Amino acid sequence: MPKVNIVKKSTDTDMTPFVDVAFLILSFFIMATKFKPAEAVPITTPNSVSSQKLPENDAVLISIDKDDKVYFSIMAKNDPQIAVDIIKGAAQARNIPVSDAQAKNYFPGDMIGVPFNKLGAFLAMSNDDKKKYVQEGIPVKDSANNELYYWIAATRTAFAGKPLKYLIKGDNVSKFPAFQAVIEALKKNDEQKYNLVTMPEGAPEGSELWRERNQ
Amino acid sequence: MTPMVDLGFLLITFFIFTATMSSPTTMDLNMPKDNKNEEDQTKVKQSGALTIMVGKDNNLFYYEGELAPDGSNFQSTNFKEIRSAIIKKKKQVEASYVTDAACEAKARQEGKNPADCRQKDFFVLIKPTEEANYKNVIDLLDEMTINKVARYALIDPFDTEKDLITASQGSAPAAAPPAQ
């Protein structure tokens, strides 16, 4: 009888290529990740087909959260003096005393959402306290006392002669009147061009834009 | 090697979850100046106008041209169907286009596509009511980009329109009754 020779193979598989791939993916994600800056107020923006990039400098951001509260932030990381000028200018227009030290305590990108009478106290808070503090939003509803108007007027003065963009970031469920009040404050300052912050989305298949992009 | 691989995968999962792949984009919005002067105001041809109103609960309403006194051309729709209404109206305006040499010459001079002159009479008026969501408004503005509508404006609805919206929202079945 011939002998059947069964080759016994080891049950261990060579894991090396697998691990190689895993670490390749790992390094990709480490490099591609850009951490979300911690947001004091979470805002879910709508989607749009627009592909313009969001400017990170020389801009002011007006945010509307889901409860229709309005916040103002200054995006000028490369020139901190501008933020100080804006804060002092806006406060001065309303005769609210804000010291240099308080204004310097503002970190570019922070959201200000307090009426002017609470501004000094809010700016004086430590960073941790600021995050915990529930802001009531900048009053905009009453068109005679639209405080955002003064913020934008001060911004225009501080940025005079420099490029400046107005970013508006609204939450999906915020109501239209809040957005309208923001536009009203900008219009009063003779500002007609804005950039709305959205998340990217593909053009729907078959639409005219889709045909143009796929040509 | 196993502990190292474990750690590797743990890190992969962590980075996958924290990754923000798509960075936010911006879309342009240009508002007109508030002109008190009648002569400076933009005139819109009735035949090429399409008015879209946004009510509550993502409801849309639209009419073509001028609103009939009895409200007979006032129609209710939703975000899924509004695109076909816009395209239909745009095609209709383009079909009735009479060659406008001045407009086409101007477009060529400015480096624009002269074919855009075909829709020069087409104007979409977006009128969000106070119950409209911010998302609704952005979606409609986005719809203008998607369908390449060159001229549109964001304005307040008239009182008659508001009344019609309230009436049709009241009479329409509020929401689908819950399944038994």
How far, in Å, CA of A94 to CA of B140, rounded? Answer: 37
Report which of A40, A47, A18, A69 is spatially closest to residue A198, judged by C-alpha positions.
Answer: A47
What is the torsion angle, in degrees rounded to the nearest 10, for the CA atoms of residue B131, residue B133, residue B138 and residue B144?
A: -40
Domain membership flag for residue A161: yes
Residue A202 lies in a domain: no
Yes or no, beta carbons of B136 and A19 under 8 Å apart: no
Q: Which long-range contacts (CB under 8 A, 24 or more apart) does B67-70 make?
A: B67/B160, B67/B161, B67/B164
CB–CB of A64 and B134 under 8 A?
yes
Q: Tell me, what's the pLDDT at A46?
A: 86
A121 φ, ψ (degrees, to nearest 5): -65, -40
pLDDT at residue B178 greater than cutoff 50? no
Whether residue B142 and residue A47 make contact (CB cut-off 8 A), yes or no, is yes
Q: Inter-chain contact B20–A208, Cβ cutoff 8 Å?
A: no
Domain that holds residue A80: 55-60+75-165+175-191
Please give the interface size between A and B, counted as residue pairs whose CB atoms are below 8 Å apart. 161
**What pLDDT score does B129 carry?**
87
Residue A196 lies in a domain: no
pLDDT of residue B175: 46
pLDDT band at residue B12, thresholds of 50, 70 and 90? confident
Helix (H, G, I), strand (E, B) or coil at B154: strand
Residue B94 has pLDDT above 50, yes or no: yes
**How many domains, chain A?**
1
**Residue A38 falls within a domain, yes or no?**
no
Q: How many CA atoms lie within 13 A of A215 on its CB side?
A: 6
Contact residues for A115 (Cβ-Cβ < 8 A; gap 6+): A136, A138, A139, A147
On the question of pLDDT at B30 being above 60, the answer is yes
**B46-89, pLDDT tens digit by residue?**
788 888 888 888 888 888 887 777 777 888 888 888 888 888 88
Residue percentage of chain B with pLDDT more than 70 = 88
Low-confidence ranges of chain A (pLDDT < 50): none
A92 assigned to some structural domain:
yes
Query: B5 to chain A nearest CA, in Å?
Result: 7
With respect to residue A2, please indicate whether it lies within any of the assigned structural domains.
no
- Region B135-142: mean pLDDT is 88
